[in-house]
Structures are given as structure tokens and as C-alpha cells.
């Protein structure tokens, strides 16, 4: 879609670069549309919020847009346009195919073109996803994505305190980010702060309670508690199994202890062995415990992938 919008003399100038977060939100009009939206979008993605004073949903959407744009740290700009004060602009954009028959309408501009749009008031989480999608089109990410990568790397590199600080920083900006909640819980566990991890789990918003990241962290906490009890009896379980390989209870407890020691492949193999010998043992307890381990480890973890393949082979042979 090409744009030829009226502009006052002397307003052309070079397109602005990426704005600072607190300068990324402005009111626009038909005289500055080319400069503030079309030209500016050649350097930074621009959201245009078409609103009206009489529009109830606009009063909900605009604050959510502003919050998400501020959290983007200057990587995206927001221009707010009152449709009643800019009827000539609205008419021209409508003729060019932009659906402005109802408000709120939010159009995302990149490289002088409309990249995406939505109509109606969306919750903040959906607005954030919309902006993340726009930044992806533009080859960028939200600052939170950068922090998330740093936090995960810190956790993998054995720096749980640093990871916890980074996950907490993400939650300051995105309080309903399930990855950050799950990461913070796991970081506190890795730092030996199990009580703090439990307290963090209790603070997770209810709507996120069944998200895979939260469910995985919850399972990891439960398994850690089971593992502490079983770990001190590792030698006992091994002796029992040496005396009786059909002692499924000992093998089950051994798997719990091995998992607590970070020996994931061995823990999975112990439970798989029970499934091979007696799948119905204790109402399918071994398979259910395996699923709990997969949830705690993460479904993309190499140990999960390997054990899941073996479990499928056993169940569907």
C-alpha cells in the first residue's frame, strides 16, 4: 500500500531513528503522518492507534499499547491519532484499503507499508504478542527476549543467582510471562533456595498455573522433595535390587534418587525397566512417574526425547 499524505511545508526532514522508550509515544495528525509514521517506519516499526474520545474500548486498549511500547525500550514507536480530528487522513487511508470504519484499530507499519493490524480492544498479553510478531518481521525482538536468553544461559552455566535476577527483571516488565516464572523457580532451586522456589510458585498468576513452563517447575519441585528422601537410601535400593530384580518398589525409589543426583538417563532407564517387566504395577506408577520426569526436565531435553522414544516403543510394540 502506497501513501501520499498531506504535509505542512518544512516538516519533511530525515526520518527519525529508533526513539528512546519515553519518547516512543506521541500524538499524531494528518499533517505529520508521513514523517511520524510512514517515513519513520523505514527505521523502526511504528504502531498507529486510531481512537476516538467516545470509544469505550479505546480507553482500555491505549494504556495497554503504551505499556508494551515502553517495555520495548525504543524498538517500536506508537503514534496515536484521534479519528474525529483527522477526518481527511481517515478518508484517504480508508480509500487506500485501511479498515477504519470502527475503532480502536491498530495498524503496524514497517518499511513504509502496513505489516499487520487488528481491531478491537485486546488484553495486554495479546498486544505484547502482536508487537513481538511485528518486531520479528522487522528482524528484532523485545528486550525481554534478550534478557530471557541471558537468563537461560546463566542458569545453564551454573550461575543461578544471576539467572534469578534476570528472570525477575523480565517479570517486572512482563508479569504474566510463564517462561520467566518457570525460570525463576528453577533458578532458585538451583541455588538451593527451595523454600523461596515454593514461595515463587505460589505467586504465579492463576491463569498461568497449567502452562507447561509452570507445570514443569512444579513437577521439578515435587521431585526434588522426593529425591531428598530417597537419595540417602541409594545403597539400600541397590542392595535390594541385587537380591531381587523384581523388587519394583526399590527400582522406583532408585529412579527418584538418581534423578535427584542429576543422573537423568539412569533414572529414566530404571522406570522403563519396571514398565518392561510389569506395566500395570501399582496402577501404572512407573509410566506416570516417567511423564512427571519429562515435565520436570522439559519436553525438549535430550534425556526426555530419548526416554520418550523408548517408552513409545514399549507401549506400542
C-alpha cell at 261: 543426583
Q: Provide the CA 190 distance to its chain's centre, in angstroms.
A: 21
Radius of gyration of the chain (CA): 27
Helix locations, the chain, DSSP H: 33, 56-71, 87-95, 124-137, 143-156, 160-173, 178-190, 194-203, 212-231, 234-243, 248-260, 264-277, 285-297, 302-315
The residue annotated as part of the active site, out of 34, 40, 48, 55, is: 55
Compute CA 61 distance to the chain's CA centroid, rounded to the nearest angstrom: 21
| C-alpha to C-alpha distance for 264 and 273, rounded to whole angstroms | 14
Q: Is 35 annotated in the active site?
A: no
The catalytic residue among 58, 154, 187, 286 is: 58
Distance CA 311, CA 261 (A): 22
Active-site residue, 55 included: yes
Do the beta carbons of residue 96 and residue 118 sit within 8 Å?
A: no
**158/163 Cα distance (integer angstroms):** 9
Q: Which three cell numbers stand for residue 275?
A: 514398565
The DSSP 8-state label assigned to residue 106 in this structure reads: E
Catalytic residues: 55, 58
Amino acid at each position: 500500500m502506497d501513501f501520499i499524505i498531506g504535509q505542512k511545508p518544512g516538516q519533511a526532514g530525515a526520518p527519525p531513528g529508533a526513539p528512546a522508550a519515553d519518547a516512543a509515544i506521541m500524538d499524531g495528525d494528518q499533517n505529520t503522518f508521513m514523517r511520524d509514521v510512514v517515513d519513520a517506519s523505514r527505521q523502526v516499526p511504528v504502531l498507529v492507534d486510531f481512537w476516538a474520545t467516545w470509544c469505550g474500548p479505546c480507553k482500555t486498549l491505549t494504556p495497554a499499547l503504551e505499556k508494551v511500547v515502553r517495555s520495548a525500550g525504543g524498538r517500536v514507536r506508537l503514534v496515536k491519532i484521534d479519528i474525529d480530528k483527522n477526518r481527511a487522513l481517515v478518508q484517504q487511508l480508508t480509500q487506500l484499503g485501511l479498515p477504519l470504519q470502527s475503532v480502536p484499530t491498530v495498524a503496524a507499519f514497517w518499511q513504509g507499508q502496513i505489516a499487520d493490524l487488528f481491531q478491537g480492544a485486546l488484553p495486554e498479553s495479546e498486544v505484547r504478542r502482536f508487537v513481538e510478531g511485528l518486531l520479528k518481521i522487522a528482524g528484532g525482538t523485545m528486550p525481554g527476549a534478550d534478557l530471557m536468553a541471558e537468563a537461560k544461559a546463566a542458569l545453564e552455566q551454573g550461575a543461578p543467582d544471576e539467572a534469578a535476577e534476570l528472570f525477575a527483571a523480565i517479570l517486572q516488565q512482563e508479569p504474566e510471562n510463564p517462561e520467566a516464572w518457570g525460570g525463576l523457580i528453577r533458578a532458585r532451586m538451583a541455588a538451593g533456595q527451595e523454600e523461596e522456589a515454593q514461595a515463587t510458585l505460589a505467586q504465579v498468576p492463576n491463569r498461568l498455573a497449567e502452562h507447561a513452563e509452570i507445570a514443569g517447575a512444579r513437577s521439578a519441585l515435587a521431585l526434588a522433595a522426593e529425591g531428598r528422601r530417597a537419595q540417602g537410601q541409594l545403597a539400600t535400593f541397590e542392595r535390594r535390587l541385587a537380591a531381587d530384580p523384581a523388587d519394583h518398589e526399590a527400582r522406583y525409589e532408585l529412579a527418584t534418587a538418581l534423578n535427584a543426583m542429576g543422573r537423568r538417563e539412569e533414572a529414566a532407564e530404571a522406570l522403563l525397566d519396571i514398565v518392561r517387566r510389569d506395566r500395570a504395577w501399582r496402577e501404572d506408577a512407573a509410566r506416570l512417574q516417567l511423564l512427571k520426569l519429562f515435565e520436570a526436565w522439559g519436553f525438549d531435553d535430550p534425556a526426555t526425547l530419548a526416554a520418550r522414544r523408548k517408552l513409545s516403543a514399549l507401549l506400542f510394540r
